[in-house]
């Protein structure tokens, strides 16, 4: 006698929020935003919302898509797991650091000390991805980061 087995298939996400050839954003079963960024040189998969926003800001196409920036945040999306990716991409990414002939790892700890509280505050106050972007533009812009890097490189 043959018995049938039943399998429970877990869905990958509760809700797909944005999907095209280069970017996939979903709200996962754990209620966190998940980002699959498939465009070089930014290729990454992350739950780190702050890092994802700093990458998305670097691409003109994504900056112009209102539906991305209107995505609402849950409480867990506002957690800052690490500032490394945020600061790396906000400062221009690997390409920029290579052009400046500077080693990112030599500067990360000092930049983290200087900007961790600002990033955490921006995340805590934000309700959408657009709020994070606006906070980064105001408090984590290239001028501020480059001035910090220049100051640190003279120490």
- pLDDT (tens digit per residue) in 60-111: 889 999 999 999 999 999 999 899 999 999 988 888 889 989 899 999 999 9
Q: Can you give the pLDDT at residue 127?
A: 98
Structural domain contains residue 33: no
Give the DSSP H or E segment for 26. Answer: strand 23-28
Can you tell me the distance from the alpha carbon of 42 to that of 36, in angstroms, rounded to the nearest whole number? 10
**Of the candidate ranges 21-30, 34-43, 65-74, 133-142, the one whose mean pLDDT is the lowest:** 34-43
Please report, for residues 13, 62, 65, 112, 144, the alpha-carbon distance to residue 108 in angstroms, rounded to integers and kept in the order given.
Answer: 33, 26, 31, 6, 15
Supply the pTM of this predicted model.
0.84
Structural domain contains residue 86: yes
- Tally of domains in the chain: 1
Can you tell me the distance from the alpha carbon of 147 to that of 111, in angstroms, rounded to the nearest whole number? 11
Domain residue limits at 111: 49-153
Can you tell me the distance from the alpha carbon of 42 to that of 40, in angstroms, rounded to the nearest whole number? 5
Please report, for residues 49, 68, 79, 120, the alpha-carbon distance to residue 138 in angstroms, rounded to integers and kept in the order given.
Answer: 18, 19, 20, 14
Q: Can you give the pLDDT at residue 13?
A: 52
Structural domain contains residue 15: no
- DSSP state for residue 78 in the 8-state scheme: G
Q: Can you give the pLDDT at residue 68?
A: 96
On the CB side of 32, CA atoms within 13 Å amount to 16
Structural domain contains residue 35: no
In this predicted model, which residue has the larger pLDDT, 143 or 27? 27
Give the DSSP H or E segment for 13. Answer: strand 13-19
Structural domain contains residue 97: yes
Q: Can you give the pLDDT at residue 153?
A: 76
């Amino acid at each position: 006698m043959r018995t049938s087995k039943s399998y429970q298939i877990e869905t990958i996400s509760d809700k797909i929020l944005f999907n095209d050839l280069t970017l996939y954003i979903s709200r996962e079963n754990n209620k966190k935003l998940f980002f699959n960024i498939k465009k070089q040189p930014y290729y990454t998969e992350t739950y780190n919302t702050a890092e994802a926003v700093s990458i998305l800001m670097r691409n003109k196409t994504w900056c112009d898509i209102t539906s991305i920036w209107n995505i609402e945040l849950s409480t867990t999306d506002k957690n800052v797991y690490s500032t490394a990716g945020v600061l790396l991409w906000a400062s221009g990414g690997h390409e920029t650091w290579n052009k400046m002939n500077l080693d990112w790892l030599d500067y990360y700890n000092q930049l983290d000390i200087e900007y961790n509280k600002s990033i955490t505050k921006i995340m805590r106050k934000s309700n959408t991805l657009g709020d994070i972007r606006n906070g980064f533009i105001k408090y984590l812009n290239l001028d501020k980061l480059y001035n910090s890097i220049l100051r640190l490189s003279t120490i």
